Structure 1
Amino acid sequence: MNFSSEYFLRRLFLAALLFFFFGSFLPVQAQQKYWVVLKDKKGVSFDPYQYFDAKALERRQRQNLPIYDETDKPINATYRQQITALSDSVSGESRWLNAIACFAQPTQLEKLRKLAFVREIIPFQVQPVVLAEVPDKYKVTLKADELKILQDQTASLGASVFREKNLNGKGIRIAILDAGFKGVDNTAAFEHLYKGKQVIKTWDFVKRREYVYDFATHGTLVLSCVAGRLNGHDIGLATGAEFLLARTERMYSERFSEEENWLAAMEWADKNGADIINSSLGYTNDRYFREQMNGRYAFVARAANLAARKGILVVNANGNDGTADWKILGTPADADSVLAVGGIDPKGLFHVNFSSYGPTADKRMKPNVSAFGIVVGAGPKGFEQTQGTSFSSPLVAGFAACAWQANRALTNMQLFKEIEKSGNLYPYFDYAHGFGMPQAQFLLNGRATEIKPTIKFETGKDQVMIVVKTEFMPDTTGPFVADTTGSGKKGTYLVKEKHPSANYVYYHIANPKGSLDRYYVIEVEDDPEVAAIKFEALRTGSVIRVFYKGYTGFYAH
């Protein structure tokens, strides 16, 4: 068969074109992305007054923190040059963790490990972050049940108390780390923020540009749950706050960059004066084992704790794996200094089934507090009902902004504890609700010094009974019992919906080490004896705590 030279030229051109488009995707050797962690920052100079926004310096001074520490200094430029020369490419770095992110092949890794200033090399995990699904269709008007959710999602936290005291987060700067803020710059729900010049800075860490107003509406809805206002309704509590908007995630198609972007955004938020950081993300079973959810293993958890050391309150969603095999929280919600937020069902006012359970791997209580996990937010086309602890977290971030506005003398960790203590269940806690939903009236005005006991303990030959006192028995309601241990065996609610005025008894059994063996939510019927616990089920030193109508009772075994 004869072919002309023109034919061969066309084939050669086509082959070259295909190689141009696809050749870079054909690996020559196995290439992976790594964190190269450095030992020191020798010889590095740093001027905090040139680097930090005035609000960042003010935050440190107000909380009696150093103006800067070693983690704030940049990475040694000589170290960076050597790592760049020995790797395929360098994509980013974290001054806080003194680490450089690079792509490298196995032969290059050996050379990098031999550098005297390298402490360790850690491979990146590559599975995508999981964010809540956000519907594409939006509503301009609300049905009656949606309107009730919208009103109650802030009312349940004490919106009226904050409004009476003119607290709306003014003077507090909040950074939102998310997957995109589509339409925020021209959406009615955020018009007041732009009129008030309250959006201070933006940065897209995926595209490396200032523009963040495309790609995903997840961040749009999250921001609305902090500070949105539409058709006369406040969607979140902090409508007067200032904002830093950071796009860190590329939904559903992440490979290597999301952890790197998140760390960079934390440092950017600190540099630009954030008082509060809200992060509605979590890394779980695709990256880690349950025993690694200890608040110290993941880089994002370490960075979150570093942010807290710099005076920032970090608020993070607890996760949406309550009905999945994973069940428990993700990182960085596991970090000790992160205020992790679980989800509440607006209809029953207790744990919503998808909200991830605690505790951490080292048995610390998580979530710390809770807020509505089914909410009404706002997007480019109006209101939208959506769900996920992604939206519980910003509701609490807005609460925190108002609380901090009320008392700027508090440090971030003092505020953290005050928010916990304001929970509607406090001092009772469990691994589904934490201390419950923060309450503005408790945070600002405190609680009654004496609370009349609503329950009592009666002991028998082989058991202890939890009994509601006669004067606190409710009107007859339908039977309900739920086990919220998250064990996967008894986690089924026996009724789908109860009126919010239902009377719940919460109780848990804490072992001698202080962690919980079991916990329950029970609705009181017409029988005052709500539970009987066999002594054989208790260990010596175990404590039963019971919460009912504002009172917490204790029984020590």
Structure 2
Amino acid sequence: MKKQYFLLLLVVVNFSFAQIQDAWVYFNDKPSAATFLANPLTMLTQRSLDRRTAQNIALDITDVPVEQSYITQISAATGITVMAKSKWLNALHIRGTQTDIQALTAFSFVNAVKFANHSLNPNGRISTVSTINKPVNKQYEVQTTYNYGGSQNQIEMLNGHLLHQQNFTGQGKIIAVLDSGFTGVDTAAPFQDLITNNQILGGYNFPDRNANYFSRHNHGTNVLSTMGAFVDGQLVGTAPSAKYYLFITEDVNSENPVEESYWVEGAELADYYGADIINSSLGYFGYDNPAYSHVYADMTGNKTFASRGANMAFNKGIVVVVSAGNSGATANPHIASPADAFGALTIGAVDNLEAYASFSSIGPSFDGRIKPDVCAKGAATTVSTTTGTITTASGTSFSSPVMAGMVATFWSAMPNLTAQQVVSFIRQSADNFNAPTSQKGYGIPDFQQALNIALNIETITTTENTIVYPNPAENQITFQLEKNQKGKVCLYDVLGQKIIEKEISSTNNTIDIQNLSNGVYYYNFESNKVFKGKIIKK
């Protein structure tokens, strides 16, 4: 009897090792980094480089692609399928048996392997469910649909109409939409201005690995309409003059961690093209295989793959707008990934009277940070269908893009702001800023107030007596500072690469530039205030 039991145990264990698993394989290095960093246009577009320069963000090794020889060797390994890759996290998303995946650690360039099944990792969480549940119902943070129109309330709630009246409508800004599909965008009347004016710049379908992004699903269509659609008297998006990239990162056929990897790939492609804003009306918590699922304790800002990607995008100068989720009335009411990310501007939902919508996922993050950050209308938001019918739908799926469009409109009014400043001013303008709650975060922003705050800051900054001379200069530059003032100066080239960093003071305020090549350079001086400008080396 004991022998029979032991034999059965062996069969179960062997079956476990034979099951196909999802995992990430992380690499030690990027051997080609120096070559790429010396030739930035081989890894990023000029617009992406310009965004970094404008925000004083230096290029670094995370901008370098994953080493191709590593991808080739992993792809050729026994039983391994490569599903996605991330240069920011220097990793591949792979599928294979536990045995085949663990065998990859024999490669000298592999740093670590992390299984999506938490119980297979050292000190991993033990799953309490041993069977695979029925597929998770993909709601895309959408609630009930109603049959009435009118986008006035969702824009006026944020005082967005006041910016529109000043002719700020998102011009000059690019929004990357990460979603499940965009059927009908190329044919429905509400999107024809975007098509005619070439405001759809392109996109990609990650699950199918092709450029057919007007496909798969209608959720992204509804989402895009709140930002870019225009039907006179029925629906005006919050950023009708912005330009858009459309990325399908969500697979409607299943709920699997590979979608987090597609999400990060989409964010990296948005960065490559120079997008200013990402909208993601997607969230990750439960998966078809419960052994892969997250728990609230994972929502610490930088643990899940998607949240780590969101943080990287923000660090590259992109405002990352993410829906809070629709779990507010469930047994697990808290935000999911990547809404928990440090770098995400997480959006909750309110109704037309600015009251909290009961379905909207709540905060805080597990580590106690304010989430959601702010709110917009997500109950009966006016949207377009794939056929062009103007209707309403509810969910943080729609409060998020309403906000993302307003971010673009606000940023078009103040194009010299950094992503960090944009997020900060939006939070400061919100009606609960001094008393945030777990339901509405800092509350509902007032974008006219945010603009006033930003204009006041700019006025103070530009009238300070901080002078850099001579300019143009040959050998050195001097910062004329106030008595006892000190701070740090960083000097960047036109590609955004930091070339000089020095602490200066009112008595030690010169920087040697004689060894620099002739051309334009940008400086950033940080003290009790921040001063930026450019100098010419001759």
TM-score over 0.5 for the pair: yes
1:178-197 map, 5 Å: 178-197=179-198
What residue number does 1:161 align with?
162
| Equivalence map 1:295-334=2 (5 Å) | 295-334=301-340
Q: How far apart are residue 294 of structure 1 and its match? A: 0.5
Residues 157, 31 of structure 1: alpha-carbon distance in 2 compared, 3 angstrom cutoff: same
Give the letter aligned to residue 384 of structure 1: T
How far apart are the structure 2 equivalents of 1:284 and 1:40? 30
Answering whether residue 270 of structure 2 is matched by residue 269 of structure 1, we say yes
Q: Deviations over 1:399-452 (max 9, x none)?
A: 1001111111111011000010111222221111111111122112249x9xxx
Deviation at 1:107, TM superposition (A): 2.7
Corresponding residue number in structure 2 for 1:492: none
Q: Structure 2 vs 1, CA of residues 355 and 76 (structure 1 numbering), >3 Å: closer, same or farther?
A: same
Q: What amino acid is the match of 2:439?
A: A
1:425 pairs with 2:417: no
1:326-405 pair list within 5 angstroms? 326-346=332-352, 348-374=353-379, 375-381=381-387, 382-405=389-412
* Equivalent-residue separation in structure 2 for 1:192 and 1:364 (angstroms): 40
- 2-side partners of 1:95 and 1:50: how far apart? 14
| Distance in 2, Cα, partners of 1:43 & 1:209 | 27
Task: Give 2:451's aligned residue.
Answer: 444
SS at match of 2:311: helix
SS in 2 for 1:341: strand
Is 1:29 paired with 2:38? no
Partners of 1:160 and 1:31 in 2: how far apart?
A: 52
Aligned-partner Cα distance in 2 for 1:341–1:27: 40
Q: What pairs with 1:457-472 in structure 2 (closer than 5 Å)?
A: none
Aligned partners of 2:364 and 2:438 also within 8 Å: yes
Match of 2:44 in 1: 52
Q: CA separation in 2, counterparts of 1:134 and 1:318?
A: 13
The whole-number CA distance in structure 2 between the counterparts of 1:358 and 1:256 is 23
Give 1:441's aligned amino acid: Q
Q: What do the CA deviations read for 1:213-263 (whole angstroms, capped 9, x no partner)?
A: 122111011001112111334432100001000011122524453122111
Q: CA deviation at 1:27?
A: 11
1:132 paired residue among 118, 121, 141: 141
- Conserved? CA contact 2:347–2:400, under 8 Å: yes
- Aligned with 2:420 (options 407, 413, 421): 413
Distance (whole Å) between structure 1 residues aligned to residue 223 and residue 70 of structure 2: 39
Structure 2 residue matching 1:296: 3-state secondary structure:
coil
Structure-2 residue corresponding to 1:22: none
Paired residue for 2:61? 70
Contact residue 189 and residue 228 of structure 1 kept, 8 A: yes
For residues 78 and 233 of structure 2, the distance between their equivalents in structure 1, rounded to whole angstroms, comes to 55
The DSSP-based 3-state class of the residue aligned with 2:182 is coil
Query: Would the alpha carbon gap of residues 446 and 98 (structure 1) be closer, same or farther in structure 2, given more than 3 Å must change?
Result: closer
Report how far residue 360 of structure 1 moved.
0.3
Question: How far apart are the structure 1 equivalents of 2:247 and 2:70?
Answer: 28
Contact 1:138/1:379 (8 A) holds in 2: no
Distance, in Å, in 1 between the alignment partners of 2:374 and 2:96 is: 42
Q: Gaps spanning 5+ residues in structure 1: where?
A: 1-25, 450-557
8 Å Cα contact 1:130/1:282 also seen in 2: no
Which letter maps to 1:389? T
Range with greater deviation from structure 2 (318-327 or 279-288): 279-288
The SS at the match of 1:324 is: coil
**Residue pair 1:87, 1:103 contacting (<8 A) in 2 also:** no
Taking the aligned partners of 1:319 and 1:363, their CA distance within structure 2 comes to 18
Q: Which has the higher contact order (CA 8 A, sep 6+)?
A: 2
Name the aligned partner's letter for residue 304 of structure 1.
A
Cα pair 2:21 2:97 within 8 Å, conserved: yes
Tell me, what secondary structure is at the counterpart of 1:238?
coil
CA offsets 1:165-213 (integer angstroms, 9 cap, x no match):
1000000000000000110011111111111111111111111111211
When residues 267 and 394 of structure 1 are mapped into structure 2, their CA distance, relative to the original with a 3 A threshold, is same
Secondary structure in structure 2 of the residue aligned to 1:436? coil
Structure 1 residue identity aligned to 2:365? T
- Secondary structure at the aligned position of 2:400 is classed as helix
Tell me the amino acid that sits aligned with residue 326 of structure 2.
N
C-alpha separation in 1, matches of 2:371 and 2:102:
40
Distance 2:48 2:264 in 1: 17
Distance 1:367 1:92 in 2: 29
Aligned counterpart in structure 2 of residue 38 of structure 1, from 27, 37, 47: 27
Q: Contact (CA 8 Å) 2:18, 2:99: kept in 1 or not?
A: no
> For residue 467 of structure 1, what is the aligned residue in structure 2?
none
| Contact 2:311/2:342 (8 A) holds in 1 | yes
Aligned-partner Cα distance in 2 for 1:162–1:289: 40
Larger Rg: 1
Query: How far is 1:134 from its partner?
Result: 7.2
The aligned residue for residue 505 of structure 2 is none
Structure 2 runs not aligned, ≥5 long = 1-14, 118-131, 288-292, 457-538
Query: 1:221 and 1:175 mapped to 2: Cα distance?
Result: 15
Contact 2:350 2:377 in 1 (8 A): yes
Q: How far off its partner does 1:28 sit?
A: 10
User: What's the TM-score once normalised by structure 1's chain length?
Assistant: 0.71
Is contact 2:222–2:386 with CA below 8 Å preserved after alignment? no
Paired residues for 1:204-219 under 5 Å:
204-219=205-220
Q: In angstroms, what is the RMSD of aligned CA positions?
A: 2.2
- Does residue 110 (structure 1) correspond to residue 116 (structure 2)? The answer is no
The sequence identity of aligned pairs, in percent, is 34
State the one-letter code of the partner of 1:116: S
Equivalent-residue separation in structure 2 for 1:232 and 1:130 (angstroms): 29
Query: How many residues are paired up?
Result: 413
- The answer on whether the counterparts of 2:205 and 2:213 sit within 8 Å (CA) in structure 1 is yes
| Aligned match of 1:250 | 251
